[in-house]
Structure 1
Amino acid sequence: MNIQLLHESILSNARFSFSKSGGPGGQNVNKVNSKASLEIPISLLLGLSEEERSRIENKLKHRISSEDCLFLSIDEDRSQLINRERALARAEELLVQAAHIPKKRKATKPTRGSVLDRLKTKKQKGSIKDLRRKPITD
């Protein structure tokens, strides 16, 4: 993944729309369009391999529309500019996290100490259960 190329393609393909933000805030909320809604076409993003693109589409399918656009809306701040910058940063962060391919786990043997500890606790549990039994009378 080329993060620099991805960043530039996000900036060039991002489409914003602004609306009034809900919640507390007094008159400012009622008159200022501070909520930033971001829309980015996934197919136009550069710097991604096909495997990374398919991982993004799979992991972020609840945020991707039928037109293959990633949607994100931010209304955390009273400033439209700050919300716009946060939306761009969050979109890049989401895309990088979703495209990340985790390393394969290498299977290892349990250590000798952990095997002995497990067997010791099994013996202790078994002996506790043995003490619960009624004594056998001949």
Structure 2
Amino acid sequence: MMYITRTITINESEIQCEFIRASGPGGQNVNKVATAVQLRFDAGNSPSLPDDVRNRLIHLAGKRITEGGVLIINARRFRTQEKNRQDAIDRFVELIRRAAERPKLRGKTKPTSASKRRRLDTKRRRGEVKRIRRSAPYSEG
């Protein structure tokens, strides 16, 4: 069991880690050893996640989630499998913790009477300037 928050635990059987060859520099070692880790988690069908957390996770994950609801995290920062595996798990846990946080609801506010007065004064001054700039009608006589 993987403890994410006080209320969310994920069974480790829901997570698949696959070792793949890392791209980028590293010489022969990159070509020989599969040190990069691809972590997969079926967020869309996971019984461990409450619906609100699942929806926020899918939104937060962005491009890292497939159309089928599978979260994919690639870790290739380190040169060893174990460090990359731990890095992928840490990033996965952090992502779910962020999704578990309920966003603060925005409280409705009203403009203060002073700000309303300032706004109306500014509008009045602007109208006055425009009225003064208007050319006076002249009569042909």
Cα offsets for 1:13-64 (capped at 9, x unmatched)? 3211111111233333333322110012334453x43333344456647504
Give the Å deviation of 1:69.
Answer: 3.2
Q: Distance in 1 between matches of 2:90 and 2:132?
A: 62
Letter of the 2:91 partner, please give it. R
Write out aligned runs for 1:64-79 (5 A): 64=66, 66=68, 68-79=69-80
Distance change (3 Å), C-alpha of 1:131 and 1:99 = farther
The match for 1:114 is 115
Q: Distance in 2 between matches of 1:121 and 1:35?
A: 62
SS at match of 1:135: coil
Distance 2:26 2:132 in 1: 67
What is the aligned partner in structure 1 of residue 5 from structure 2?
Answer: 3
Q: Which stretches of structure 1, 4 residues or more, deviate above 6 A after TM superposition?
A: none
Residue 130 of structure 1 and its aligned partner are, at CA, apart by 3.5
Shift of 1:3: 0.8
Q: Would the aligned equivalents of 1:65 and 1:71 in 2 still touch at CA under 8 Å?
A: no
Q: State which structure, 1 or 2, has the greater radius of gyration over its C-alpha atoms.
A: 2
Q: Which protein has the bigger helix share?
A: 1
- Relative to the length of structure 2, the TM-score reads 0.68
Backbone CA RMSD of aligned residues: 3.1
TM-score normalised by length of structure 1: 0.70
SS at match of 2:10: helix
Q: Which has the higher contact order (CA 8 A, sep 6+)?
A: 1
Q: Does 1:136 align with 2:137?
A: yes
The alpha-carbon deviation at position 135 of structure 1 amounts to 3.2
> Among the aligned pairs, what percent are the same residue?
32
For structure 1, which runs of at least 5 residues remain unmatched after alignment?
A: none
